[in-house]
Amino acid sequence: MFITVPALLGPAQLEEVDRLFNEAPFVDGKLSAGMAARRVKRNEELDQASPVYERLNGIVLHNLLRHRVFRNAVLPHKFAAPFYARYGSGMAYGDHIDDPVMGSPHHYRSDVSVTVFLSPPESYEGGELVVRTEFGERQVKLPAGHAVIYPSSSVHHVNAVTAGERRVMVMWIQSMVRDPARRELLYQLNQVRERALRKAPDAEDTKRLDIVYANLLRMWAEV
C-alpha cells in the first residue's frame, strides 16, 4: 500500500510548525538508529525532551491521527513516538528498512510507516523519499502538510539534500490488521462502502456492503 494523505495542515499551522522548528533543539539522528541504519543515516532530529516536541505533536500528530484517509488506510492500533527530522545540505539517509519492533517500555510492531512533509518542496533541492515497491522505485516529494503511507518492510532511502532544508515528521504504526494484502482490500472496500453510504444509505446493497466490511474487519482485526 502506497497512499498519499492530503492537506493534514493548513497555512497557519504550517507557519507555527516552521516557527517551532526554528527554535527547537536538535541532536544527531544516529542516536535513534539501529546498528545497520546508523551507518547510512545523516540527519538531525528534534530532542524529544524539549517542550517543543509536545507542541509539535499537538499540531502534526493530532491532525494525522484524525485524518480520515490515514485512519481508513492504516487502521491504527498502536504507534511509536514520532520523530521530527531536518536534513540540511549534504544530509541523506541511505537504503534501510525500519525496525520491526519499536517503542519503550511498550513495544509496537511496525506495519506501516508515515512521512509527513513539513517544508515546501521548492524550499530545498534533492531530499526525495525513494521507496522500493514491486512496481519499481517510487520517488516522493510532497507539498508541505501532505503525508505518504508505505510499508515499514520496504527498502527506502532519502536522497541527499543539495540546497535548503528538508523538514519532516516520521512515525510507525502497528495496524489492527497485520496482513498488508487484507489491509489494502479493506481500504478499497471501505472506499466503495463510504460512497454507497453517501449516495444510497437505505439501499439493500449498501446495507449488505456495510455488513460485509464490518464482519471482515471483525474477522481480521487483532486488538
The CA distance from 179 to 153, in Å, is 12
Residue 123 · residue 153 · CB < 8 Å? no
Same domain as 67, residue 145:
yes
Same domain as 208, residue 108:
no
Same domain as 193, residue 157:
no
Mean pLDDT of the chain: 95
Query: What confidence score (pLDDT) does residue 135 get?
Result: 86
Same domain as 122, residue 208:
no
DSSP one-letter code for 127: -
Q: How many CB atoms lie within 10 A of CB 67?
A: 17
Same domain as 21, residue 114:
yes
Model pTM? 0.94
The domain containing residue 188 runs over which residues? 180-220
Q: How many CB atoms lie within 10 A of CB 38?
A: 14
Give per-residue pLDDT as tens, 123-182. Answer: 999 999 999 998 899 999 999 999 999 999 999 999 999 999 999 999 999 999 999 999
- State what percent of residues in the chain have pLDDT above 90: 88
Same domain as 170, residue 110:
yes
CATH number at residue 30: 2.60.120.620
Same domain as 103, residue 206:
no
Same domain as 189, residue 157:
no
Backbone angles phi, psi at 91, to 5 degrees: -90, 150
